[in-house]
């Protein structure tokens, strides 16, 4: 294990020595998105064909409510558009910063972050992240690809900035930022998957898509307090529809 860690550290040091930080930042984010969003999305959407029995047993919502193939294709195309837009903005900002001699918003340096630094910064970034929204709710029975199906303005302001700003404000190591982004991508693909396995992580967010006015939060405390968790709460003025 130590030898593997040393090899990874050496490979990273060589990568930083032979490539400019902005290229590492942009290409790294692209790779993280490919591995931690596209692959989980393809996996979840493919379950219907690969394991139809398993898929049918674990679908949270019934078959009549499931999106058609054309709707899933539309979600893929909208997600591609949003990702291309974000990549173009990131590349343009990186080019402009490099041309003016400014350093990247996150640290790109030869040494990898320690486990303690990585854990601390991921927790701090997660604490700083909270979630135009009607387009996203076109999918009343969500699928994984619907997790980035959003209006471009919403995608930038509500999806990208809450994830990108905490690492930038903390000036974390770029690898720490990639780990944080990877966690967010896997989480959003999972909670939009429409399946009840993985300890039922998708159930509440699936219900949010189905009814619109319940389960807005990530951990449930504010939903309980405001009565939007379908059980009522101290500030629940009326029962949700």
More confident residue, 170 or 216: 170
Q: With bands split at pLDDT 50, 70 and 90, how would you rate the model's confidence at 136?
A: low
Q: Residue 117's closest CA among 176, 165, 170, 166?
A: 176
Confidence of residue 37 (pLDDT cuts 50, 70, 90): very high
> Is 8 exposed, middle or buried, given 0-12, 13-18 or 19+ CB atoms closer than 10 A?
exposed
Per-residue confidence (pLDDT) for residue 158, from 0 to 100: 72
**77 pLDDT tier (thresholds 50, 70, 90):** very high
Higher pLDDT, 232 or 98: 98
Strand positions, DSSP E, 38-138: none
Q: Is the pLDDT of residue 150 over 90?
A: no
Pairwise pLDDT comparison (144 vs 72), residue with the higher score: 72
Q: What average pLDDT does the structure give for the chain? A: 80
Q: What confidence category does residue 226 fall into, taking pLDDT thresholds of 50, 70 and 90?
A: low
pTM: 0.68
Token digits of residue 202: 């998708």
Residue found by looking up tokens 């931690």 in the block: 36
The pair of structure tokens assigned to 35 is 């591995």
Of the candidates 223, 217, 122, 205, which has an alpha carbon nearest to the alpha carbon of residue 163? 122
Residue 5: its pLDDT value, please?
Answer: 73
Q: What is the band of 28 on the pLDDT scale with cuts at 50, 70, 90?
A: very high
What average pLDDT score do residues 86-105 get? 87
Please give the pLDDT value at position 197. Answer: 66
pLDDT attached to residue 130: 44
| pLDDT value at residue 153 | 74
- For residue 179, is pLDDT > 80? yes
The distance between the two most distant Cα atoms of the chain, rounded to a whole number of Å, is 61
Asked whether the beta carbons of 194 and 142 are under 8 A apart, the reply is: yes
* CB distance 36 to 140 below 8 Å: no
User: How sure is the predictor about 188, in pLDDT bands with cuts at 50, 70 and 90?
Assistant: confident
Q: Mean pLDDT across the stretch 180-194?
A: 84
Q: Supply the pLDDT for residue 240.
A: 43
Which secondary-structure segment (H or E) carries 178?
Answer: helix 174-191
């Amino acid at each position: 294990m130590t030898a593997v860690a040393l090899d990874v550290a050496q490979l990273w040091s060589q990568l930083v020595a032979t490539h400019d930080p902005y290229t590492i930042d942009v290409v790294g984010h692209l790779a993280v998105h490919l591995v931690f969003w596209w692959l989980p999305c393809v996996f979840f959407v493919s379950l219907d064909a690969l394991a139809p029995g398993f898929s049918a047993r674990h679908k949270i919502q019934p078959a009549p409510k499931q999106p058609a193939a054309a709707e899933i294709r539309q979600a893929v195309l909208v997600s591609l558009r949003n990702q291309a837009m974000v990549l173009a903005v990131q590349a343009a900002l990186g080019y402009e910063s490099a041309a003016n001699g400014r350093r990247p918003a996150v640290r790109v340096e030869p040494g990898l972050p320690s486990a303690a630094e990585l854990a601390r910064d991921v927790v701090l970034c997660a604490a700083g992240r909270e979630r135009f929204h009607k387009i996203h709710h076109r999918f009343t029975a969500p699928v994984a690809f619907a997790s980035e199906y959003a209006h471009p303005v919403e995608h930038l302001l509500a999806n990208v900035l809450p994830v990108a700003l905490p690492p930038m404000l903390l000036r974390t190591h770029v690898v720490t930022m990639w780990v944080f982004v990877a966690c967010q991508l896997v989480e959003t693909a999972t909670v939009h998957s429409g399946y009840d396995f993985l300890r039922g992580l998708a159930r509440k967010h699936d219900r949010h898509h189905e009814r619109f006015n319940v389960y807005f939060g990530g951990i449930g405390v504010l939903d309980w307090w405001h009565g939007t968790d379908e059980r009522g709460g101290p500030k629940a003025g009326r029962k949700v529809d």
